[in-house]
C-alpha cells in the first residue's frame, strides 16, 4: 500500500473534488462509491453555483417551517414524526435561526465563496471540462413588488464581503430576456455567481481523477472501517469483506455519512432534505440565466436545449416513495414566472437528498479522536458550490499544510461539543 494513499468514501462532488486536489499534490487516491452510476444529489441538483448563499438557518425560518409543516405542498415540508433525533435536530435548528448566527455563517460562507470559484475554475481550465459553466450570476425572480425591497436588502448585505448585486425592474428584465412573463415584478441579480450542468461537471471530475492516476471504484458498498492497533483509521471495509487500505480515510458519503461514522463512535447528526428536479424540452424560449423563483423557492437553470426546474425541501427519512404533488409543484411554480412551460414536455424526473446539519453549516476537517479520519459532509443546499473549496480544505488537512479558512464554523466535532456542553 502507498504510504500516501487516501481512501475516499463517496464519489459525490465533495469526494471527487478532494480526490482531485490530493492528486494535484502528488498523493495516491482511491474513491469508493456504492452506486454504479453517479446520479445522486451532486448530479441532480439545480446547478446554481451561488457563492455567498445564506444557510437554511435564517431568522424566522424555524417558525415558517412549523407553519408549512401542515401543508405538504409547501416549499419546505417536515414529515411529521416523534423521532428523538428529528426533535433534537429541530430544536438545535430553531436555536440557530438568529441574526448573530446568520452573521457569523455569512462571513464564513462569503470567504469560502471566492475560494470555491477559484478552485472550480482552475479545475475546469486544467481539465477542459465542458459542463455549460457560465459566470453569468443568478436571478432572484420576484412576482410581488412588496418582496423586492427586502430581497434587495438581503443582496446588499453581502456588499461588505465584495459581492455585487443589481436590482432590475420587470420591464428591464423582459427587455433583456424574453423568457420572463409579465407577472414578474423584478429581480435581484447576484452578479458574481455562476451556473453549471452538475451532471456533466461530476462526469468530468470523475474522468479527470482517473486520467490523473486516481482510482474510482463504483459499485463498492462501504460497510465499515479498519483501525490500526494505535486506533488510527487505516482503511475501509466493503460489504463483500474486501479491505481497501490507506494512510488516511475521508468520509464524504453525503447523508449516509452519519450511520457510517457512528460505527466509529462519531456522531454527525444530519437530516435528509429530499428535493426533486424535472427537466423540460421544448419551452420555445430559454432564460439566459439560472435563478430562483423567489416566492416558491424553485430554481431554474437552462442546460443546453433543456430547462431544469429543481427544488422543494422535504425533511424525513431516506427511501420513502416520491411525493408526486411536490414534484408537480415545480412546473406549477414555473408557469407564473417563465414562458413556454405548458408547451414543453418532461424528459426526466429525479429526486435526491441534501445532507443538512442543524446549524446550517457543513462538517469539514479531521476527527481529532481518530487519527487518519477526515470528514466532508453536511453541505445542505450548498454542496455543489462548496464542493471545490471543501476539497481544497480537506487536501490541506490531509497533507498537513495550512489553509486560510477559519475552521471553527466547519469543525466536524461541533455536534459533540454541543452535546458535551449541554450535558455539563
Ligand atoms: C433538488 C436539489 C437542488 C440542489 N441545488 C443545489 C444548487 O443549486 N447549488 C448547490 O450548491 N447545491 C445544491 N444542492 C445541494 C447539493 O446537491 C448537495 O449539497 C451535494 O450534492 C452534496 O454532495 P456530497 O458529495 O456531500 O454528497 P452526495 O452527492 O450525496 O454523494 C455522496 C456519495 O456517497 C455514496 N455513498 C453513500 N453511502 C456509501 C457507502 N456506504 N459506501 C460507498 N458509497 C456510499 C453515495 O452513493 C453518493 O454517491 C441541491 C440539492 C438538491 C436535492
**Of 356, 388, 406, which marks where a domain is finished?**
356
pLDDT per residue as tens digits for the range 215-267: 999 999 999 999 999 999 999 999 999 999 999 999 999 999 999 999 999 99
Distance between CA atoms of residues 100 and 63, nearest Å? 17
Do 303 and 398 have their domain in common?
Answer: no
The pTM for the full model equals: 0.96
62, pLDDT greater than 70: yes
The three grid cell numbers given for residue 298, joined into one nine-digit string: 424553485
Testing ligand 1's pocket by substitution, the residue of 199, 253, 322, 387 carrying the most ligand atoms inside 8 A of its CB is 253
Degrees to nearest 5, angle at CA 415 with 352 and 268: 35
**Of 335, 356, 377, which marks where a domain is finished?**
356
349, pLDDT greater than 90: yes
Do 276 and 185 have their domain in common?
Answer: yes
How many domains are contained in the chain? 2
With respect to residue 91, please indicate whether it lies within any of the assigned structural domains.
no
Atom of ligand 1 nearest to the CA of 376: 26
What is the residue-wise DSSP string for 113-138?
Answer: HHHHHHHHHHHHHHHT--S--B---E
Distance from Cα 156 to the centre of ligand 1, integer Å: 30
417, pLDDT greater than 80: no
Residue nearest to atom 27 of ligand 1 (CA): 254
Do 295 and 352 have their domain in common?
Answer: yes
Do 415 and 326 have their domain in common?
Answer: no
Do 77 and 223 have their domain in common?
Answer: no
Distance between CA atoms of residues 55 and 97, nearest Å? 10
pLDDT per residue as tens digits for the range 107-132: 999 999 999 999 999 999 999 999 99
282: domain CATH number is 3.30.9.10
With respect to residue 399, please indicate whether it lies within any of the assigned structural domains.
yes
With respect to residue 120, please indicate whether it lies within any of the assigned structural domains.
yes
Sign of the alpha-carbon dihedral angle for 284, 381, 260, 388: positive
Do 315 and 374 have their domain in common?
Answer: no
Nearest to 309 by CA among 167, 141, 146: 141
Q: 313-326 burial, b for 16+ CB within 10 Å, e for fewer?
A: bbbbeeeeeebeeb
Residues within a 6 A CB radius of ligand 1: 9-15, 32-35, 38, 40-42, 45-48, 221-222, 252-254, 256, 260, 275, 277, 299, 310-311, 352, 354-355, 377, 379-385
pLDDT per residue as tens digits for the range 146-205: 999 999 999 999 999 999 999 999 999 999 999 999 999 999 999 999 999 999 999 999
Atom of ligand 1 nearest to the CA of 223: 41
**Of 356, 379, 405, which marks where a domain is finished?**
356
Split at pLDDT 50, 70, 90, the class of 303 is very high
Split at pLDDT 50, 70, 90, the class of 63 is confident
128: domain CATH number is 3.50.50.60
Residue nearest to atom 2 of ligand 1 (CA): 45
Do 330 and 262 have their domain in common?
Answer: no
Range of the domain at 144: 60-83+138-191+271-356
With respect to residue 93, please indicate whether it lies within any of the assigned structural domains.
no
Q: What is the number of other CB atoms lying within 10 angstroms of the CB of residue 130?
A: 11
Amino acid at each position: 500500500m502507498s504510504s500516501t494513499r487516501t481512501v475516499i468514501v463517496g464519489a459525490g462532488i465533495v469526494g471527487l473534488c478532494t480526490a482531485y486536489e490530493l492528486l494535484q499534490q502528488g498523493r495516491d487516491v482511491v474513491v469508493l462509491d456504492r452506486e454504479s452510476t453517479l446520479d445522486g444529489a451532486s448530479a441532480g441538483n439545480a446547478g446554481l453555483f451561488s457563492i455567498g448563499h445564506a444557510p437554511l438557518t435564517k431568522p424566522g425560518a424555524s417558525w415558517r417551517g412549523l407553519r408549512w409543516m401542515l401543508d405538504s405542498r409547501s416549499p419546505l415540508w417536515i414529515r411529521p414524526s416523534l423521532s428523538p433525533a428529528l426533535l433534537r435536530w429541530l430544536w438545535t435548528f430553531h436555536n440557530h435561526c438568529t441574526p448573530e448566527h446568520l452573521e457569523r455563517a455569512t462571513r464564513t460562507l462569503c470567504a469560502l465563496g471566492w475560494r470555491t470559484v477559484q478552485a472550480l475554475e482552475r479545475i475546469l481550465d486544467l481539465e477542459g471540462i465542458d459542463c455549460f459553466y457560465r459566470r453569468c450570476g443568478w436571478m432572484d425572480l420576484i412576482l410581488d413588488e412588496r418582496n423586492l425591497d427586502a430581497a434587495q436588502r438581503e443582496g446588499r448585505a453581502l456588499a461588505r464581503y465584495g459581492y455585487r448585486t443589481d436590482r432590475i425592474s420587470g420591464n428591464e428584465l423582459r427587455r433583456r430576456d424574453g423568457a420572463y412573463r409579465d407577472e414578474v415584478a423584478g429581480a435581484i441579480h447576484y452578479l458574481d455567481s455562476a451556473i453549471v450542468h452538475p451532471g456533466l461537471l461530476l462526469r468530468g471530475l470523475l474522468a479527470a481523477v482517473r486520467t490523473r492516476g486516481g482510482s474510482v471504484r463504483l459499485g463498492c458498498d462501504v460497510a465499515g472501517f479498519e483501525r490500526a492497533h494505535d486506533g488510527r483509521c487505516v482503511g475501509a471495509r466493503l460489504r463483500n469483506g474486501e479491505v481497501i487500505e490507506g494512510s488516511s480515510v475521508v468520509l464524504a458519503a453525503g447523508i449516509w455519512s452519519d450511520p457510517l461514522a457512528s460505527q466509529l463512535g462519531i456522531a454527525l447528526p444530519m437530516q435528509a432534505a429530499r428535493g426533486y428536479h424535472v427537466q423540460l424540452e421544448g419551452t420555445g424560449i430559454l432564460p439566459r440565466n439560472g435563478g430562483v423563483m423567489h416566492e416558491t423557492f424553485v430554481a431554474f437553470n437552462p442546460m443546453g436545449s433543456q430547462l431544469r426546474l429543481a427544488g422543494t425541501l422535504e425533511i424525513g427519512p431516506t427511501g420513502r416513495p416520491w411525493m408526486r404533488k411536490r414534484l408537480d409543484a415545480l412546473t406549477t411554480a414555473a408557469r407564473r414566472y417563465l414562458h413556454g412551460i405548458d408547451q414543453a414536455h418532461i424528459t426526466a424526473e429525479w429526486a435526491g437528498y441534501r445532507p443538512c446539519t442543524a446549524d446550517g453549516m457543513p462538517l469539514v476537517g479531521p476527527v481529532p479522536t481518530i487519527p487518519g479520519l477526515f470528514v466532508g459532509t453536511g453541505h445542505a443546499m450548498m454542496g455543489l458550490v462548496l464542493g471545490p473549496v471543501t476539497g481544497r480544505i480537506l487536501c490541506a488537512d490531509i497533507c498537513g499544510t495550512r489553509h486560510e479558512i477559519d475552521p471553527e464554523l466547519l469543525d466536524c466535532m461541533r455536534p459533540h461539543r454541543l452535546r458535551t456542553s449541554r450535558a455539563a
